[in-house]
Amino acid sequence: MLKTSIGEETAAPVVSESATVVERWECDFSQTKTDGVIYDYIIVGSGSAGAVLANRLSEQKDKRILLIEAGGADTHEEILMPGASTKCQGSEIDWQYKTTPQLHSHFGCVNQQSNWPRGKVLGGCSSINYMQYVRGDALDYDNWDLPQWSFTEMLPYFKKLERADLNTIPKNEKFRNHDQDSGMMDVIMVQKDNPMDPMFIEACEKNGYREIEDYNAEKSLNGCVSMSQISTKNGKRWSTASGYLLTAVKRENLDILIHAHTCRIVFDAHKQATGVIVKRDNSSEKEEFITSKEVILSAGTIGSAQILLLSGIGPQNELEKHKIPLVVNLPGVGKNLQDHLMTPLFYLSRLPTLSSRDATVENHQLWKNEGKGPLASGVGGS
């Protein structure tokens, strides 16, 4: 597993963020003017949900949309380089949350706390995660016993969002979309270039697992092992910012505002949202009201709940404790949080694996110019 910064060790000449923003996005979104504009929709958070919403809603030409992001543009090289994905977490593009000290777990962690990475950048967590493309077990959707969320109902949307790679992912019209003229998110299957991968798969098979060609085309994932599928295009990370915003931003009815922290939602006397209060990084002492007919929170599991609480929506006793005026007493806000943990196991190996030794000028140029080499593979194999 990569522990040092490949992007740092082989970085290209440093350029200003504003210059790279303009190069990628043709605009500096930190300078977006909102004075006098009444938006139809304000979307708070540009991550895996917000970017999709901005794209789909802006397809309606008679609607005006504002997408607000607390972080900046996704122009750091470490974001695009799969081999440097670990460097993204714990950096300035990560909110760097930590759990509260745990009582019955995390005994090997400082203060018994876990890091809780959350993207603070265009693309949100899809710009800092390990790019694993996993729909999940079909039976999990069905076991929710919610007809509209069954796997059969969800499958058309899974297919609609993806462009499965023709060369690495087996064709399967029932489960996958290989039409390169539709879909938004590019997906490839990691190849068995590292000798460790076939050995790992063989070891799993000897312990009762079965190797499958495509875990996103299975009725159940129980007892399966396979090579990973990741969201990359030409060896570069393909986040929701790349998949959904690069096209949407060309529409005149979509504005994007970055480096702007959403403080709270504003409601009228009828408890209807009328807009949001934000603070821009370049004038953090000044609160700015932006008007909208509707507000959509897609600021992540933690961020959306926090904004609701700060806006007066949540458990009345907690809001009163923090002297936040009550708008709606909604006890479930900020409660019942669930997430999956990752517990990495590290082993010494005589075989080469992705490490700081791959951070060579030659590998950097190979990745940058051709999208190939160890820096294009990411940290997940089989």
pLDDT along the chain (382 residues), means of 10: 35 43 82 95 97 98 98 94 92 95 92 94 96 93 94 96 96 95 95 88 96 92 93 96 96 97 97 97 90 97 96 97 97 89 83 84 93 84 74
As given in the structure block, the two tokens for residue 165 are 């790679």
Looking at residue 274, what DSSP letter applies? E
- Residue pair 349/196 in contact (Cβ under 8 Å)? The answer is yes
Q: What is the model's pLDDT at position 71?
A: 97
CA distances from 51 to 20, 66, 81, 125 (A): 20, 11, 20, 11
Q: Considering the entire predicted model, what is its pTM?
A: 0.91
Distance, in Å, from the CA atom of 278 to the CA atom of 311, rounded to the nearest integer, reads: 12
Could you tell me which residues come within 8 angstroms of residue 118 by beta carbon, excluding any fewer than 6 positions away? 94, 95, 97, 124, 125, 300, 302, 303
Give the pLDDT confidence score for residue 283 in this predicted structure: 86
CA 358 to CA 374: how far, in whole Å?
7
Query: What is the distance between the alpha carbons of residues 3 and 10, in angstroms, rounded to a whole number?
Result: 15
Which pLDDT value is given to residue 169? 96
pLDDT value at residue 19: 60
